[in-house]
Amino acid sequence: MNQRKIGSLTLSGLIIGPLLGSGIILLPTIIYENIGNYAIFAWFIMSIIGICFAYVCGELMIQFPGEEGLGTAMEKAFGAKIKNLSSVFLMIAALMGPVAVMMTAAEYIQTWLFSSNIKVEWIAFVLLIINGLILLFRLNFLGKLSFIISTFAVLILVSGSVFSLINHPSDTWDFPVFHYSSFGYSLLLLFWTIVGWEIVGNYSSEVKNPKTTIRRAIFFSAAVILVVNLVLSAAVQWTTYTGTFTIRLTGIMYPLFGQLSIGLLAIVATGLCITTHLMVVGGVARLIASLSKPISSLHFLTKKFSNGAPYKAIGLLVFIHLLFAFLVLLKLVSVEQLVSLANAFFIANALIGLCAAIKLLKKTLLKGMAIMLSILFAILLLRSSIIALVIILILTGLFSGWHKRELTRKKRVMYDKKVTKM
């Protein structure tokens, strides 16, 4: 059994790529175009917030490990109903988010290799199926694959950025007039770069020496992500960047990689999207398998290969992803709508985890971090899709109502027992 357990580097592979995601390709130029040279400060602030979130999630993972991820801590803090509510939020997000991620990868592949005659959705179908098959491999292999992809992405992005900063520095060091609204909006955009740490907890039962391994992986991953964010942001600001290429950041990479820049960036973006898909779908599949154990009608979803892969839960998720991709192809739903809905449910799940951290963690520093983060996440959630907010409120009301009815039932049973004894 120990040979299936993963170590710090392998776990880091499941973290770095997904946390960087396609956002590291798209956001640096967007943030710079929005607030100019203040962008580096926005990236720094959000990177520090991300480290705090990672630290809080890591401590919860260590104290409450299991395939249900932070759900174990949520149950300890608020009971089974709230844990199930959080799990529902995460599962709903995982039904839509990975489709949008693969659509992003498909767009890069289409731009690089194919003409517009090949629809992005058909490329996404192929990617979703391939990723579903990859998820059937042992977790150790998935971690190593993600680590290789993440390492390649980091080397390309950092080396290209550093080369441009050294050899092609710009003289645009002036700061524009500071606008609080623009800076605040940029921070909100960057908030999406830190959501994902909470999903790592779903792998905690398959980690050897969890206390040491998780802490090392989180420290290493957070440090790498911080460096990549700041170096790339600095390169966008302080080199002779040009935004005329079809793929963003090509102007930064071109001085070092020349004509290979577009292909390399397409590979990097696709690879990061693939690692994001692997982490989210793999983690949620394990959550579904764990939650299905006590439900006889869903017990088939607990089935696993000998390597630990919950193949029926993975198959169910891939099937639903293909269905959503087909709906996008028919233009019945847009990728933007999927992103908006998925993000809201990811944040709602993370917010419950932070509330659990406030209640369970003993250290004052950790409690303070959790309180600060919960306020920020609540603000972000309120700015999410109205449809998602309505669904979240309805689900919360239903689960809270069930919780109250359960308490009332238990009190009535206890009262009847007392009456019987008398």
pLDDT of residue 417: 53
Return the pLDDT at 415.
47
DSSP secondary structure code for residue 294 in this structure = T
CB 15 within 8 A of CB 221: yes
The confidence band for 232, taking pLDDT boundaries of 50, 70 and 90, is very high
Tokens (6 digits) for 117: 């005659």
> Which candidate, 372, 327, 377, places its Cα nearest to that of 348?
377
Mean pLDDT of the chain: 85
Identify the burial level of 303 via C-beta atoms within 10 angstroms of its C-beta, where 0-12 means exposed, 13-18 middle and 19 or more buried. Answer: middle
Can you give the pLDDT at residue 4?
59
Segment 396-409, tens digit of pLDDT: 888 876 545 544 55
Which tens digits make up the pLDDT trace of 298-320?
A: 888 999 988 888 999 999 999 99
Domains of the chain: 8-384 (1.20.1740.10)
162 vs 12, residue with greater confidence:
162
Q: pLDDT tens digits for 321-365?
A: 999 999 999 999 988 888 888 888 988 988 999 999 999 998 899
The count of other CB atoms within 10 Å of the CB of residue 248 is 17
Q: Count CB neighbours of 184 within 10 A.
A: 13
Give the contacts of 376 (CB within 8 A, at least 6 positions apart). 49, 191
pLDDT band at 422 (very low <50, low <70, confident <90, very high): low
